[in-house]
Amino acid sequence: MKFSDLVNKLDQKYKHSLINYPNYNPEIIGITPIENTQANTISYIEGVKFAKYLRETQANALILPEDETLQKQALDKGIAWICAPEPRLLFAEVIKVFYTPFKPKPLIHPKAVINPGAKIGQNVYIGPNVVIETGVKIGPNSCIFANVVIYPQVEIGANTTLHANCTIHERTIIGDNCVIHSGAVIGSEGFGFVPTSQGWLKMEQSGRTILEDGVEVGCNSTIDRPALGETRIKRHTKLDNLVHIGHNCQIGENCAFAAQTGLAGGVKVGNGVLLGGQVGVANNAEIGDGAIATAQTGINNKVGAGEIVSSSPSVPHKLYLKASIIYKKLPEMYETLKQIQKQLKEK
């Protein structure tokens, strides 16, 4: 398609940029990454850090940030461009023009094993070897990929996707527009062992796990159910791969947890909380709204709303930045201290 046609497919707010340069209207057949562009494609420069790629790019069009220098460089090289105050959003829109994600058509595959006591909504895809136990409800337009196993009494909303090989345990509730990625396990038994003089006593995990609308759970992540009550993840929270959420955790809305992060039991997390990769949170810790923990942080108590924390055990991020510079000077500090001691004694 012509660059102008591409721009017409986008949100109105992006169209002004084209109008200014009517002679720049190349044929665009796809989108390529800026490190490896091809002719007749559009590419994306996230910021000045990537400006070096502009000089040698094969792309005939670019998504640019609102940076006049970059824009002039592009024009000088004969490259059409379109800009936005948030260029990543524009980039996401352009990808959608060229890319349609794989979604199978509605079908109950004959090799799925569905208990007659399950209720399956309209326009649902259920792949081969899916196993659905009694009492399960699946909402309309949902998509259950091959080899998923759903235990009894699970409820899944509308327009939700369960990728291959994941397992949903008894009584779990998953809302609308959720995505559970391959291999994830939701609603499994919490790690509830009580030490006794006769060894570990297993506490039955009679509770359930609830994922509200718009939640995503990454590949091979695990979310446990509690002995009593519920483990709950609120609307639009996103978990990356290999994340662990313990029994009885209450996670707020719009959070994002990066890969390999783990929460022990009973953790309370507010809304809009960001946890970096490999963060660990101890039993019954509390994290306030909008707090941030950088990668590998260990949280064992409370983090206030809006705080940014790092290190294990967690400290304010600014303190961490200073302390980790001084950590490198510890051997030198130790020597200095010993010299001072010696000097004072000699006096």
Contacts (CB under 8 A) with a copy of itself, residues 86-145: 86, 88-89, 91-92, 95-96, 98-99, 101-102, 109, 111, 113, 127-129, 131, 145
- Shortest Cβ 23–a copy of itself spacing (Å): 27
ω into 313 cis (within 30 of 0): yes
Among 218, 270, 288, 290, binds a copy of itself (CB under 8 A): 218
Which of 4, 106, 254, 286 touches a copy of itself by CB under 8 A?
254
Q: Measured from the CB atom, is 57 or 165 closer to a copy of itself?
A: 165
d(CA 30, CA 1): 9
Residue keyed to tokens 């291999």: 183
Stretch of 15-23, 54-62, 75-83, 190-198 contacting a copy of itself, by CB under 8 A: 190-198
CB nearer a copy of itself, residue 49 or residue 55: 49
Distance CA 41, CA 58 (A): 8
Using rule CB under 8 A, residue 71 touches a copy of itself:
no
Range in contact with a copy of itself (rule: CB under 8 A) among 12-20, 64-72, 76-84, 256-264: 256-264
How far apart are alpha carbons 157 and 25 in whole angstroms? 44
Taking alpha carbons only, the member of 90, 33, 82, 84 closest to residue 59 is 33
Tokens standing for 92? 């996401």
Counting contacts by CB under 8 A, is residue 328 touching a copy of itself?
yes
Among 26, 157, 252, 262, binds a copy of itself (CB under 8 A): 262
Question: What DSSP assignment string belongs to 319-336?
Answer: HHHHHHHHHTTHHHHHHH
83 scored as a contact of a copy of itself (CB under 8 A): no
Q: State the DSSP H helix or E strand holding residue 80, giving kind and residue range, or none if neither.
A: strand 80-83
Residue from 29, 51, 75, 282 in contact with a copy of itself (CB under 8 A) = 282
Beta-carbon contacts of 220 under 8 Å, excluding residues fewer than 6 positions away, are 182, 183, 184, 241, 242
Helix (H) or strand (E) holding 340: helix 330-346
* Known catalytic residue at 247: yes
Sheet containing 244-245: order of strands: 113-114, 131-132, 149-150, 167-168, 185-189, 222-225, 244-245, 262-263, 280-281, 298-299
Give min distance, CB of 39 to a copy of itself, in A.
16
Q: Does 175 bind a copy of itself (CB under 8 A)?
A: no
Window contacting a copy of itself (CB under 8 A); options: 14-22, 68-76, 117-125, 199-207 = 199-207
Q: DSSP letter for 27, please.
A: B
193 near a copy of itself, judged by CB under 8 A: yes
Among 22, 55, 331, 342, binds a copy of itself (CB under 8 A): 331
| Three-state secondary-structure class, residue 185 | strand
Smaller CB separation from a copy of itself, 95 or 122: 95
Taking CA atoms, 105 is separated from 125, 146, 184, 228, in Å, by: 6, 14, 23, 39
Q: Binding residue for a copy of itself (CB under 8 A) from 32, 60, 73, 141?
A: 32
Task: Identify the CA nearest to 56 among candidates 42, 35, 41.
Answer: 35
Interface region with a copy of itself, contact rule CB under 8 A, candidates 4-12, 18-26, 69-77, 195-203 = 195-203
Q: Per-residue x/- marks for a copy of itself, 220-249, CB under 8 A?
A: x-x-x-xxxx------x-x-xxx-x-x---
- Phi–psi pair at 23, nearest 5 degrees: -80, -10
The active-site residue, picked from 163, 181, 236, 247, is 247
Stretch that binds a copy of itself, among 52-60, 77-85, 116-124, 259-267 (CB under 8 A): 259-267
Active-site amino acid positions: 247
